[in-house]
Structure 1
Amino acid sequence: MKAITITEFGSAEVLQVTEVPDITATANEVLIEVKASGINRSDVLQRQGNYAAPNNTTNQIPGLEVAGVIVACGPEVTQWKKGDKVCALLPGGGYAQFVTVKEGQCLPIPEGLTYIEAAGLPETVFTVWSNIFERGQLHPKETLLVHGGSSGIGVTAIQIAHAFGSRVITTVGNEEKANHCYALGADLCINYKTQDFESLLQEEGVDVILDMIGGTYFQKNLNILNEDGRLIHINAAEGSDVTLAIWQLMIKRLTVTGSTLRGRDYDYKKQLATAVHTHVWPLLVNGTFKPIIYKVFPYTDVVAAHQCMEQSNHIGKLILTWE
C-alpha cells in the first residue's frame, strides 16, 4: 500500500510517498480503507523530530486521524462490521491508504458529512472534550478563553462551548480570522498582534483557558483567571519553562493542568470516544457544530499541505485525500 513516510527529520520536503507492507486487523482491531486524513500541528512536530510516536507505533508514518470504510474486522470486534463508514483517532500511521485501529477509537460518520469533513473531527473533538469539558469542567454561563481561535482546535472549541451556553473569547492574528470566529459563535475576538489580552480581560476575568502558547502567556493567563479558574495547556509553542507564583494559586484557588492525548491508554480513549459520541455527535447531526475545512490536498501534495500548516494562515482544518 502507499503511505507518506518521514524519510528523515527536517522540513516538509522529507515527506515522501512510498510503498509499505500491507497490514491486517488482529484481535479487536478494524482495518480501514482511508478516504481522507486530517493534518495536525503535531504531525509537523513529529516530522521535525520534536514529537516522538508512542512505542509500538509506526513512527515513520505520521497522521492521527482518518475517515474511511471498514474493509475487515479482527476476530474480537463486536462494534463494527465490514462496510461501516467511520472516522478514527490513531496513535500514528494515518497518512496511508489503510490503517488498523482498535474498535473503541472509531466513531460513525454522522449522516450528511463527507469523508473529508469527518477526517478533521477526531483529534480536535477528542482534545477539546477531554481538556475543556472533562479536565477544565467548563459550565454553561462560564467564560472560556481559547488562544488560537482559528486553528482546528480553536474553531472546534468555539462552536462546542458556544453550543453548551458558555461565553467564548479567543485570540486571533488578524481581522479575517476574527470575523470567522465571530461567525462560529465567539463573543469577543482579541488581535494578539495589536492588543494585549491581559489588559482587556483583567477586569472581567475568565473561568477556563485553553492555551497552546505557554511562555509569556503563562503569567498573563494566571492574572486574568477568576477565583477557582482553570488553566489547561495542550502545547507550549512559545516555551515550556515558566515561573509559577504558588501564592497566586493558593489565594485564587487556581488549577493549572495540561495533557497530551496521543500516549493515553486504550481504555481512556475508548471512554473518551463514548463521551464524544454522547455529547458532541448530536451537535453534528443537528448542524449546531460543523467541521471547518480550510483546504484539501491530494496525498501527493503532502509537502505543500505541511508548508500551508507552518504558514499559519489557515482557518480550520487541512485535509489529505486518498481518492
Structure 2
Amino acid sequence: MSALPSEYTHIQVEQPGAPEVMRLSRSSLPVPAAGQVLIRVHAAGVNGPDIKQRVGAYPPPPGASPIIGLEVAGDICALGEGVSQWQIGDKVCALVPGGGYGEYALTHAAHCLPIPTGFSYVQAAALPETFFTVWGNLFMRAGLKAGETVLIHGGSGGIGSTAIQLASALGSRVIATTGQEEKREYCLSLGAQEVINYRTDNFVEAVMAFTQNKGVNVVFDIAGGDFINLNLQALAMDGRMVSVAMQRGPKAEIELFRLMAKRIVWTGSTLRPQSVEAKAEIAKELRERVWPLLDSHQIVPNIFATFPLSEAPKAHALMESGAHRGKVVLTLAE
C-alpha cells in the first residue's frame, strides 16, 4: 500500500443551488478517529439526500463531513484506534456520514461491509445507502415477513428497486407503483408481481383487485403528501406503513378513524442522523440476512449510469430528471 497523500480531491459546494454549484476542490486528508477507518474511494453512489443537501434542504448532522455523499466502495487505507475487524487493503463498501464524493472518505468500521463476491466497485457502491434504508425500514421497522404482500411506491428508483428485489427474494408478494409506463417491465423484472401506473390508474382500486379486497400488509412509502391517505385505504387490517421520503410533499391530511379502525401502525425514519450503534445493528443484520443473497448473485443492483467524479453535476441532473432506473454511481480514477 503506497504512502497516503497529504491532500485529496473532492466535490465542494460553496452555495446551495443547481447541480453546477458542485465543483472539484482540494482539502487536507482526514485522519480516522477511534473506531473509524479511512477508505480510498473507487466509486460513490448518488442518492436523493445528496440532492437535498446540495440545494440546502438536508444539512449534515453535527460532526459529519460537509462534503456530499453517503455511500462508497473502495479499499481501507488507514485504521483508527481499536479497529480490529478490518485490515489495511480490505475491499469494502460502506455507509458514510458524509464525504462520499471524494478520493478518500472516513466512516465507522462497524458501518463497512465486504464487497460481495464477484461485485465490481461500482456495483458495491450502489449498495449501502439503499440497503441500509430498505432493511432498516421495511424489515426492521415495518417487520415485513415472507408470505405478506407489500406495496412499494417508486419501484424503479434506487430505493424502490432494492425494496422490490429484497422483498421478493425473501418471500413476499410485491406490488409496485411507477409514474411511467415504460418502467413497468423493469419493475416486473426485479420481482414485482403487479405494477401500477399511479398517473393513469387508481392504485387503491388496483391494490384491492390484486389482493381480493384484503389490502396489503405493508406500504413502503417514498411519496408522502396526498398518497398517505390513499395508503391507509390500501392497507389491510393490522397493516403497517413506513415512510422514508416525501416526494409528493411533507404534509398529509389523513382520516384518523381509518387508521384506528384498521389498527394501522405508521412509522418511518431518516438514516443519516441515527446513532453509530443503530447503523451498526443494521449492518450486522445485512451481513447475516442479505449479503448471502448478494454473494450468490440472487440480487444484483442495477446500475443505470456512471459518471466520473468531475461530472457529478451531470449525475445530479439525471437524478432530478427521474429518467433513471436503478442506481447512478460516480467513479474515481484508479
- Name the TM tier (shorter chain): over 0.9
- How far residue 237 of structure 1 moved from its aligned partner, in angstroms, is 1.5
Once residues 124 and 241 of structure 1 are traced to their aligned partners in structure 2, the CA distance between those partners, rounded to angstroms, is 24
1:94-130: CA deviation from partner (whole Å, max 9, x where unpaired): 0010011110000000110000000000000011101
Q: Please tell me whether residue 35 in structure 1 is matched to residue 42 in structure 2.
A: yes
Once residues 243 and 56 of structure 2 are traced to their aligned partners in structure 1, the CA distance between those partners, rounded to angstroms, is 21
1:268 partner SS: helix
- Please give the residue correspondences for 1:239-250 in structure 2 after superposition, counting only pairs within 5 Å: 239-250=249-260
- How far residue 25 of structure 1 moved from its aligned partner, in angstroms, is 1.6
Moved beyond 3 Å, runs of 4+? none
1:18-50: CA deviation from partner (whole Å, max 9, x where unpaired): 111111122111110000000001100110111
Once residues 248 and 87 of structure 1 are traced to their aligned partners in structure 2, the CA distance between those partners, rounded to angstroms, is 42
Q: What is residue 20 of structure 2 aligned with on the other side? A: 13
Once residues 110 and 104 of structure 1 are traced to their aligned partners in structure 2, the CA distance between those partners, rounded to angstroms, is 16
Q: What is residue 58 of structure 1 aligned with on the other side? A: 65
Q: Please tell me whether residue 146 in structure 1 is matched to residue 126 in structure 2.
A: no
- How far residue 52 of structure 1 moved from its aligned partner, in angstroms, is 1.2
Q: What is residue 93 of structure 2 aligned with on the other side? A: 87
Q: What is residue 322 of structure 2 aligned with on the other side? A: 312
- How far residue 273 of structure 1 moved from its aligned partner, in angstroms, is 0.3
Q: Please tell me whether residue 78 in structure 1 is matched to residue 84 in structure 2.
A: yes
**TM-score for both structures, normalised by structure 2:** 0.95
- Please give the residue correspondences for 1:103-182 in structure 2 after superposition, counting only pairs within 5 Å: 103-182=109-188
1:137-156: CA deviation from partner (whole Å, max 9, x where unpaired): 11111111110000111111
Q: Please tell me whether residue 281 in structure 1 is matched to residue 287 in structure 2.
A: no
**TM-score for both structures, normalised by structure 1:** 0.98
1:47-98: CA deviation from partner (whole Å, max 9, x where unpaired): 0111111011122x10000000001111210110000000000111100100
1:80 partner SS: coil
Which sits farther off after the overlay, 111-120 or 241-250? 241-250
1:195 partner SS: coil
Which one of 184, 189, 197 corresponds to residue 195 of structure 2?
A: 189
Specify every segment of 5 or more residues in structure 1 that has no aligned partner in the other structure, as ranges.
Answer: none
2:161 partner SS: helix
Kept in 1: contact 2:226–2:253 (CA 8 A): no
Aligned residues: 322
Q: What is residue 206 of structure 2 aligned with on the other side? A: 200
Q: What is residue 210 of structure 1 aligned with on the other side? A: 220
Q: What is residue 4 of structure 2 aligned with on the other side? A: none
1:277-323: CA deviation from partner (whole Å, max 9, x where unpaired): 10000000111111110000001111111000000010000000012
- Amino acid across the alignment from 2:55: Q
Kept in 1: contact 2:218–2:241 (CA 8 A): yes
Q: What is residue 296 of structure 1 aligned with on the other side? A: 306
Specify every segment of 5 or more residues in structure 2 that has no aligned partner in the other structure, as ranges.
Answer: 1-7
1:280 partner SS: helix
Which one of 244, 262, 275 corresponds to residue 234 of structure 1?
A: 244
Q: Percent identity?
A: 44
Q: What is residue 24 of structure 1 aligned with on the other side? A: 31
